[in-house]
Amino acid sequence: MGRVNDKVALITGGASGIGLSAATLLAKEGAKVVIGDFNEEGAKEAAASIKRDGGEASGLFLDAAKEESIKEAVDFTVQQYGTLNVLYNNVGLTNLQKDLDVVNMDLEEWDRLMNVNLKSVLLGSRYAIPYMKKDGGGSIINTASMAGFAGDSIRSAYGASKAGVVNLTRYIAVQYGKDHIRCNAVAPGLILTPAAKNNMPEEVLGIFEKFNALPYHGEPEDIGNAVLFLASDESKFMTGQTLQIEGGHYIGNPTMSDFNAFMQQQQ
């Protein structure tokens, strides 16, 4: 018996990276999984791969920037599998070229990232909740980011949108808890998805690793496993929480590295 046996899960942005890992793990543990992604071919390939491994899955086109598309994905899930127990709002975008500091950032990019990263969470939940209510409850899982807990020199919209996800998670949890609907979030630190590996220079990856408390990077499965836990009844007394999964990157005193270098110089 799997940990999420016969639960029906919709995962946004599930064709690659963290979403794909969560979809694969949920399916392995018995869930019927719908993968919605902008990359329709990737979503369908991911579903086919899950089926080849003996699981149940469907892939479809989803644009998380569009209300109608999100509604269609939710409706499709219920038509296909009869219910919706788990919604994983995973889609999120960042843009290092246009999402800059407050004075210089592109305002259209601000709107786009707020829409895709934050409003999509509202919309997915808005359309999933009535089905969940009708069928006795469910689990909504959102993807925040450690960028929602700390300031940075750029990525103002990304950080603000992800901080919004953290608190929207609490609002959903408070508003629908009595309907047996739980809502939690994961906040990843840097995770070595294929995109991160391809796009980030080795030196930058090295800087991130150096500041982790643990001596290694995060992998998509590190988040996927947390999503599996939050989707399952193992987390049935947990709601409104954001799990920070970041290798201890943000737990130390930020002056520690310079302070240690200073102390070494004194010896």
- The residues binding ligand NAD (CB under 6 A) are 12-13, 15-19, 37-39, 42, 62-65, 90-93, 116, 143, 145, 188, 190-191, 193, 195-196
Q: How far is the CB of 115 from ligand NAD (least distance, A)?
A: 9
Q: Which one, 4 or 190, has the nearer CB to ligand NAD?
A: 190
Q: How far is the CB of 205 from ligand NAD (least distance, A)?
A: 11
Q: Which one, 100 or 196, has the nearer CB to ligand NAD?
A: 196
Q: Which one, 164 or 188, has the nearer CB to ligand NAD?
A: 188
158 is catalytic: yes
The encoded tokens of residue 254 equal: 């930020």
Q: Which one, 37 or 109, has the nearer CB to ligand NAD?
A: 37
Catalytic residue among 81, 88, 131, 158: 158
Q: How far is the CB of 111 from ligand NAD (least distance, A)?
A: 14
Cα–Cα distance for residue pair 150/167, rounded to 1 Å: 15
Q: How far is the CB of 68 from ligand NAD (least distance, A)?
A: 13
Positions marked catalytic = 158
